[in-house]
């Protein structure tokens, strides 16, 4: 419908109306509708369609070229044979993978221990007997992260034994061997993990940062800001935040939804005096793709050339009763990865899509502009 708004408008009857900013695409005038005029018009069109035809930024072409390049590189790496160097001192593939596995075992994060939790974190309300909603979320996160770490420890141990010839190299272990050799996350791990498109080195570092955040939450209580990208089950946390607000203000949870306020806060140090908000939570770690956030106008703005993704400041997720976003706001879909696709999990939530974040837009660029740009939020990048 947004695309049709460019064509099914009265302005198309004006000779000066252009379908794109460059002016290359327009309706020929009556004087140019004979055969020669039409041929001249067609020859004047660009040989290849540019992103502007679809209302997108030039960065879309850059993103496409990067995606195609990565796809070709992955294909080349996938068919590359394991070649042993003629240098006697060079490490064999088996030695390299074994060293990587040993290093990962050494740097493996510790399990989350509920016995080391902050005092009173999991206490129940003496009147209702209910546990705090976010404490329930933390319990679920503990189970998921500890389960993932168990898979990592077990598979790394088995792989090292298989490399040494102590056990049979199964199909799963061989796939894991090839993945580690190519700096990819093994499929065995991804089935137990959260969605991510990062290469192995970045993925493992990201896992350590997630565990550091979760240990801080477990030992120090609910943090002043929530690193939403570090939450294993994102929708579960958001539901817990809504439930906490509903219980506090005695509002049916079905009647509330999130309102959003983009702040100028960029670090927890700025919250040292004020602490967390009275209602809702500060969310950090999000990115915006195909747009940028302007602190000067406090609105979305088109991306800068060559910068398709930018970090967002802290956003106040504030539960509000019967919330209806302004029509001038862009309802920006938030995804966990930039694939922008997912499947329904057993809980009924998407494995990739999270929710729509409402962003104010400037007068010169309304919500339709950012729809065509393909603007979306991300909880993580691919690098």
Between CA 57 and CA 107 the distance in angstroms is 41
Domain count, the chain: 3
> What is residue 313's predicted lDDT score, i.e. its pLDDT?
96
Q: Quick one: 218 and 250 in the same domain?
A: no
Mean pLDDT of the region 189-214:
95
> What is residue 35's predicted lDDT score, i.e. its pLDDT?
85
Over residues 56-71, the pLDDT tens digits come to: 888 888 888 888 898 8
> What is residue 229's predicted lDDT score, i.e. its pLDDT?
96
> What is residue 82's predicted lDDT score, i.e. its pLDDT?
62
| Predicted confidence (pLDDT) at residue 85 exceeds the cutoff of 60 | no
State the pLDDT confidence band at 84, using cuts at 50, 70 and 90: low
Over residues 95-148, the pLDDT tens digits come to: 999 999 999 999 999 999 988 899 888 888 888 788 899 999 999 999 999 999
Q: Quick one: 383 and 339 in the same domain?
A: yes
Range of lowest pLDDT (34-38, 86-90, 179-183): 86-90
β strands within 246-382, DSSP E: 256-262, 281-284, 287-289, 292-294, 299-301, 309-311, 315-321, 329-335, 353-360, 376-378
Tokens of 155: 């598979």
Q: Quick one: 342 and 369 in the same domain?
A: yes
3-state secondary structure (DSSP) of residue 350: strand
Q: Which H/E stretch holds residue 280?
A: none
Say if 301 falls within a structural domain.
yes
Mean pLDDT of the region 323-329:
92
| Predicted confidence (pLDDT) at residue 244 exceeds the cutoff of 90 | yes
Longest dimension (CA), the chain: 86
Question: In this structure, are residues 29 and 23 in contact, taking their beta carbons and an 8 Å threshold?
Answer: no
State the pLDDT confidence band at 365, using cuts at 50, 70 and 90: very high
Q: Quick one: 126 and 256 in the same domain?
A: no
Q: Quick one: 218 and 259 in the same domain?
A: no
Pick the residue with more confidence: 306 or 148?
148
Pick the residue with more confidence: 33 or 171?
171
Between CA 253 and CA 276 the distance in angstroms is 22
Q: Quick one: 256 and 360 in the same domain?
A: yes
Q: Domain of 266: which CATH number? A: 3.10.490.20
Q: Quick one: 254 and 191 in the same domain?
A: no
Mean pLDDT of the region 245-261:
94
As to burial, measured by CB atoms within 10 angstroms (0-12 exposed, 13-18 middle, 19+ buried), residue 28 is middle
Last residue of one domain, picked from the residues 205, 222, 239: 222
What is the torsional sign of CA 148, 107, 165, 87?
Answer: positive
Question: In this structure, are residues 150 and 112 in contact, taking their beta carbons and an 8 Å threshold?
Answer: no
Say if 306 falls within a structural domain.
yes
Last residue of one domain, picked from the residues 43, 75, 107: 75
> What is residue 50's predicted lDDT score, i.e. its pLDDT?
81
Mean pLDDT of the region 350-364:
93
> What is residue 196's predicted lDDT score, i.e. its pLDDT?
94
Over residues 25-57, the pLDDT tens digits come to: 888 877 667 888 888 888 888 888 888 888 888
State the pLDDT confidence band at 327, using cuts at 50, 70 and 90: very high
- For 21, the domain range is 4-75
Q: Quick one: 141 and 217 in the same domain?
A: yes
Total H helices, total E strands in the chain: 9, 11
Q: Which residues pair with 284 in a beta bridge?
A: 227
| Predicted confidence (pLDDT) at residue 252 exceeds the cutoff of 80 | yes
Say if 322 falls within a structural domain.
yes
Between CA 70 and CA 136 the distance in angstroms is 40
Q: Quick one: 217 and 252 in the same domain?
A: no
Per mean pLDDT, which of 88-97, 121-130, 279-288 is the most reliable?
Answer: 279-288
Report the 10 Å Cβ neighbour count for 52.
19
Say if 80 falls within a structural domain.
no
Q: Quick one: 190 and 232 in the same domain?
A: no
Last residue of one domain, picked from the residues 192, 222, 252: 222
Say if 9 falls within a structural domain.
yes
Mean pLDDT of the region 242-266:
94
Query: Length of the chain, please?
Result: 383
Tokens of 141: 């996160």
Q: Quick one: 217 and 231 in the same domain?
A: no
Question: In this structure, are residues 64 and 308 in contact, taking their beta carbons and an 8 Å threshold?
Answer: no
Say if 86 falls within a structural domain.
no
Give the CA distances from residue 372 to residues 3, 356, 376, in Å, rounded to whole numbers and listed in that order.
7, 16, 11
Give the CA distances from residue 97 to residues 105, 156, 286, in Å, rounded to whole numbers and listed in that order.
12, 10, 33
Mean pLDDT of the region 278-303:
95
Range of lowest pLDDT (61-70, 237-246, 302-311): 61-70
Q: Quick one: 329 and 235 in the same domain?
A: yes
Say if 84 falls within a structural domain.
no
Say if 177 falls within a structural domain.
yes
């Amino acid at each position: 419908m947004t695309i049709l708004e460019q064509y099914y408008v009265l302005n198309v009857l004006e000779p000066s109306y252009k379908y794109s900013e460059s002016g290359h695409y327009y309706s020929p005038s009556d004087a140019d509708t004979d055969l020669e005029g039409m041929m001249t018009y067609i020859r004047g069109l660009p040989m290849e369609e540019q992103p502007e035809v679809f209302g997108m930024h030039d960065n879309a072409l850059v993103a496409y070229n990067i995606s195609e390049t990565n796809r070709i590189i992955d294909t080349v790496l996938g068919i590359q044979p394991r070649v042993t160097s003629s240098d006697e001192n060079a490490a064999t593939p088996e030695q390299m993978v074994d060293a990587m596995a040993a290093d990962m075992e050494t740097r493996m994060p510790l399990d989350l221990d509920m016995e080391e939790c902050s005092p009173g974190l999991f206490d129940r309300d003496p009147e209702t007997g209910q546990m705090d909603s976010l404490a329930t979320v933390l319990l679920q996160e503990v189970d998921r992260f500890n389960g993932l770490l168990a898979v990592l420890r077990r598979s790394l141990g088995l792989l090292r034994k298989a490399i040494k010839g102590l056990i049979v190299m199964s199909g799963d272990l061989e796939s894991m061997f090839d993945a580690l050799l190519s700096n990819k996350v093994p499929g065995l791990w991804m089935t137990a993990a959260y969605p991510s498109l990062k290469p192995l080195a970045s993925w493992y570092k990201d896992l350590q940062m997630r565990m550091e955040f979760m240990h801080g939450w477990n030992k120090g209580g609910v943090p002043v800001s929530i690193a939403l990208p570090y939450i294993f089950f994102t929708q579960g946390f958001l539901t817990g935040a809504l439930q906490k607000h509903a219980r506090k203000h005695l509002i049916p949870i079905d009647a509330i939804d999130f309102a959003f306020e983009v702040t100028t806060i960029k670090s927890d140090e700025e919250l040292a005096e004020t602490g967390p908000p009275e209602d809702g939570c500060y969310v950090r770690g999000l990115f915006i793709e195909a747009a940028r956030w302007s602190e000067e106008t406090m609105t979305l703005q088109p991306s800068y050339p060559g910068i398709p993704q930018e970090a967002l400041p802290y956003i106040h997720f504030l539960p509000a009763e019967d919330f209806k976003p302004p029509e001038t706001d862009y309802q920006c879909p938030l995804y966990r990865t930039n694939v922008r696709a997912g499947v329904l999990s057993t809980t009924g939530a998407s494995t990739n899509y999270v929710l729509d974040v409402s962003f104010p837009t400037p007068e010169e660029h309304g919500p339709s502009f950012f729809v065509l740009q393909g603007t979306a939020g991300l909880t993580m990048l691919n690098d």
